[in-house]
Amino acid sequence: MVWKLKAQCRAYRFVGHAEAVTSVQYSPDGQLLASASRDRTVRLWIPCIHGESSVLKGHTASVRSVSFSQDGHFLVSASNDKSLKIWSVRHPCLLFSLFQHTHWVCCAKFSPDGRLIASCSEDKSVKIWDTRNKTCIESLLDYEGFANFVDFNPSGTCIASAGSNHVVRLWDIRMNKLLQHYKVHRAGVNCVSFHPSGNYLITASDDGTLKILDVLEGRLIYTLHGHKGPVLSVAFSKKGEKFASGGADAQVLLWKTNFDSWDYKEVLKHHIRRTNLDDPPHLLDIYPRSPHLHGEKIQSVEVNPTFVSNTQALDPPVIEISSSSSFSTPDYVSSEDAQNPPDSVLATSSKRKSENESESAMPNVGKQTGISPSLGNTLEHIVEQLDVLTLTVSILEQRLTLTEDKLKECLENQQKMLLEERQEA
């Protein structure tokens, strides 16, 4: 189903797959829509009223996941045939396959720069693949359960995995290290989505809730209720001002956040420690283990999800669209352009560097204000104590949330026991 979110909400149903559709994703430019199905095929659709599509065949079992590269030139699919397949979008065809998983592959995602692929499988492993050498360069093992979903953060330095054992894990792929471990759900986690700033992560679970995590402070900050059953998927919009969630209750909820309500300059002024993200990892940071100097830091914007509202539209009119003959996708850049960054990217990098250099000159202005060293030391000590208090409060908030969940569970069990006693009496 493709939804047109305007004043008069409309939905278009594209018909072509022979069995259930398991995954869909728009291309970065919005010109194509990819879908995966249990009929062992992947389809590329032109999202228009004509419903034209091209079929990609190659898997020998149900296809569970499909994802575009950031430049839109490639597509990766994950299947129950224990393989990943990388497809060309420009001329729809299979480029190569990756085999090392020993069980069904649940999900696969490209890194933001397209050099790496992260995949997760029911063999309880998360693997990192080099797309150029077509080899597995890291394998992250989890012996407590398997991951249902995996995705890169916006900078490409970390990946988040959603586990069947109720756990969300955040890994640093440069150090092959587990950074954070969240057990805030009471059932399996089906999907995660990073906010475009990289500071926040939203999770969807079989316990019927969505949870927003602050990955900078490592804490749970919000629990959302709305679905009447398991929540199967969630995704932020491109700018992060909205996110959508889909559940087993046959509902798609569109939520509006206040992530975009903060003034950018005010955020940078009051939360300077949140303004830097790590740069994308260099392959030398992953293998072999040799030092590599990254470029300048890039800026991000802090968000503060203190209020989240949801809207649910009435049932829209549905237009049936049958799949017509296959199409030829538009002519993209050559493979040489895909490997070498365009001039626009280099120009953006140099612009960021000049902006950061101008910002680095700011502290020199502060040195001319005449603040004595003793007063500066005192202020630094106060700031440190405030950081400790903030951390303590965040821990207490997380424990309070867990306590509330436990109390709710106890009350539900008590009600069930009372009902059973009344029925027996």
104 is written with which tokens?
Answer: 């069904």
95 is written with which tokens?
Answer: 């480029």
Answer whether 89's CB lies under 8 Å from 102's CB. no
* Cα–Cα distance, 94 to 37 (Å, whole number): 17
* Cα–Cα distance, 301 to 196 (Å, whole number): 9
Q: Report the number of secondary-structure helices (H) and strands (E) in the chain.
A: 6, 29
Q: Is residue 288 reached through a cis peptide bond, with omega within 30 degrees of 0 on the bond before it? A: yes
More confident residue, 331 or 43: 43
pLDDT band (50, 70, 90) for residue 208: very high
Q: pLDDT digits over 333-374, tens only?
A: 334 444 444 444 344 444 444 444 444 444 443 444 456 777
Q: Apex CA 117: angle with CA 343 and CA 56, to 5°?
A: 95
Q: pTM (2 decimals)?
A: 0.62
Q: pLDDT digits over 92-142, tens only?
A: 899 999 999 999 999 999 999 999 999 999 999 999 999 999 999 999 887
Q: pLDDT digits over 39-93, tens only?
A: 999 999 887 777 778 899 999 999 999 999 999 999 999 999 999 999 999 888 9
CB under 8 Å to 94, separation ≥6 — which residues? 56, 58, 85, 86, 87, 88
Provide the pLDDT for residue 403. Answer: 83
Answer whether 70's CB lies under 8 Å from 109's CB. no
Position 324: which residue type?
S
For residues 212-228, average pLDDT: 89
